[in-house]
Amino acid sequence: MSSPFTYVFILHLFVLHSHSFPLSTSSRWIVDENTGDRVKLACVNWPGHLHVMIPEGLNKRPVKDIVSDISHKMGFNCVRLTWATYMYTRYSNLTVSESLDRWNLTVTKEGIARNNPEVLEMSIVEAQNAVVNAMGKGKIMVVLDNHISLPEWCCGYNDGNGFFGDEDFDPDEWVRGLVTVACRYKGNPSVRIT
Ligand SMILES: *[C@@H]1O[C@H](CO)[C@@H](O)[C@H](O)[C@H]1NC(C)=O
Ligand SMILES: *[C@@H]1O[C@H](CO)[C@@H](O)[C@H](O)[C@H]1NC(C)=O
């Protein structure tokens, strides 16, 4: 019983459930460094670049449950976790609790206290790290996506984050942010930085 549909379906399952690291490259392909087998990333987006600079949803569910759902319920093997440059160059010492207070997010703070209490007194950078580590434990590969400079919703032509010369795009600060993130996650085999 082998219709094209069955074939595609099986391939799909195989691809979505494979996870490998460390990764490497071979010509144009992403491969498993140890086996040389081709690895396909099936990534879901997880925003973490918005005003409060915390991966969204930590007020709703424990991080390990979110990670488990991404992998087991939804079938992804990878997350594209967005981040903002200023998280690393300007706000790295701000705690999650302080960040929520800056936006008067009382109810969200209560939600985090309920679902992920250990995160509240972490700095926003440590909180991102904790989420990345939870994904590593759940065998999810992570693409850390530098989405924007000023943490906010993006992307429009006039958001000041788009291109050289824009109000919130200083190339030196951008590079500083990339270097800081690269150093922080260097050696973490499940992370790629874009
Ligand atoms: C964070 O705190 C450390 C140690 O107090 C300090 O050296 C660093 O400049 C601070 N970073 C930012 C972005 O304020
Ligand atoms: C938060 O609340 C204070 C006091 O009501 C107010 O002055 C401030 O503008 C609010 N901040 C935001 C970001 O809404």
Written as tens digits, the pLDDT of the chain (194 aa) is: 344 444 444 444 444 445 667 788 899 998 888 888 998 999 999 999 999 999 999 999 999 999 999 999 999 999 999 999 999 999 999 999 999 999 999 999 999 999 999 999 999 999 999 999 999 999 999 999 999 999 998 888 888 888 888 999 999 999 999 999 999 998 887 777 77
Q: Is residue 61 part of a domain?
A: yes
d(CA 98, CA 78): 30
Kindly give the number of the ligand 2 atom that is closest to the alpha carbon of 102.
13
Q: Is the CB of 103 under 6 A from ligand 2?
A: yes
Which residue type sits at 60? K
From the CA of 93, the nearest ligand is 1
Site of tokens 């939870």: 134
The CATH number that applies at residue 61 is 3.20.20.80
Q: Is the CB of 7 under 6 A from ligand 2?
A: no
d(CA 135, CA 155): 26
Q: Is residue 35 part of a domain?
A: no
Instruction: Classify 105 in phi/psi space as left (phi over 0), alpha (psi -120 to 50) or beta.
Output: beta
118: DSSP letter? G
Q: Is the CB of 153 under 6 A from ligand 2?
A: no
Range of the domain at 55: 42-193
Element (DSSP H or E) covering residue 136: helix 124-137
pTM: 0.85
